[in-house]
Amino acid sequence: MTVKWDRTKGRPEPIRALNRIVERENGEPLVDMADVCPSVRVIRPQVIPYVRRTVAEMCERASALLPKGYHLGLVEGWRPIERQQRIYDFMWGCAKEAFPNRDEIALRRTVCRWVAPTDQKAPPGHCTGAAVDVWLVDDEGEVIDVTAPFDRFHAAPTYSYGLSEDAQRNRTILVEAMLEVGFSNCRDEWWHYSYGDAGWAVRFAKPECFYGLARLQQELYEDLERQHAESFKDRPNPFLPPA
């Protein structure tokens, strides 16, 4: 299924543009989101709930802008580079299975559409602690629809056409709250926002960024990493129709 979207909104961020950004790491620490932005709800058990301090503070301000009964649900925050590579390798295998006639260049283009590679000058946004993937959830923690009548990936571009009235309203609520507090949005993914990384710099036409690759004490997330690795064993191929 092909969903049309408004390409006049947002700014493309090819890898070559990301690699041109000058990184001037400011040393801001990663913080536990539960301490800095308690309004945000973690909605996946394997999420490592750490981001840069300013990013956490911005999430709390965005959450306060949502209507009553709406909450930010964190799907992903900081990722160790090893997790990023695991996701990339998984998507690479899925792409090879789904598109056996594509050459290596075409496969890489397909995978990089969804997952930032780890072999470039600009580190992936999640690995800097600058990026968050967020959904909307209600008071009971149930996901609020922002994609009907499509599924998440078919309506991935933020400014997709053809959404239901309710889905469009809900998506607009999320986008406006996040942009209002200073986040930039990856126009290819309605759920992905960042501040201070190379992606943010490209989207705002800035020559420099101030968050680079970040590390966290392994004991703070090693159990979550085991859960994440385990979750891939039964994960379906996202490039193939549901069985």
Least confident residue range of 66-70, 92-96, 153-157: 153-157
Cis status of the peptide bond prior to 49, with omega within 30 of 0? no
Question: How far from chain centre, in Å, is Cα 143?
Answer: 16
Query: pTM for this one?
Result: 0.96
Name residue, tokens 């078919």.
154
Question: How far from chain centre, in Å, is Cα 159?
Answer: 16
Q: pLDDT tens, 14-46? A: 999 999 999 999 999 999 999 999 999 999 999
Q: Which amino acid is at 178?
A: M
Q: pLDDT tens, 167-184? A: 999 999 999 999 999 999
Between CA 44 and CA 106 the distance in angstroms is 31
Cis status of the peptide bond prior to 242, with omega within 30 of 0? no
The predicted structure's pLDDT at residue 159: 97
Least confident residue range of 2-11, 72-81, 90-99, 124-133: 2-11
Closest CA to 132 of 227, 222, 30: 30
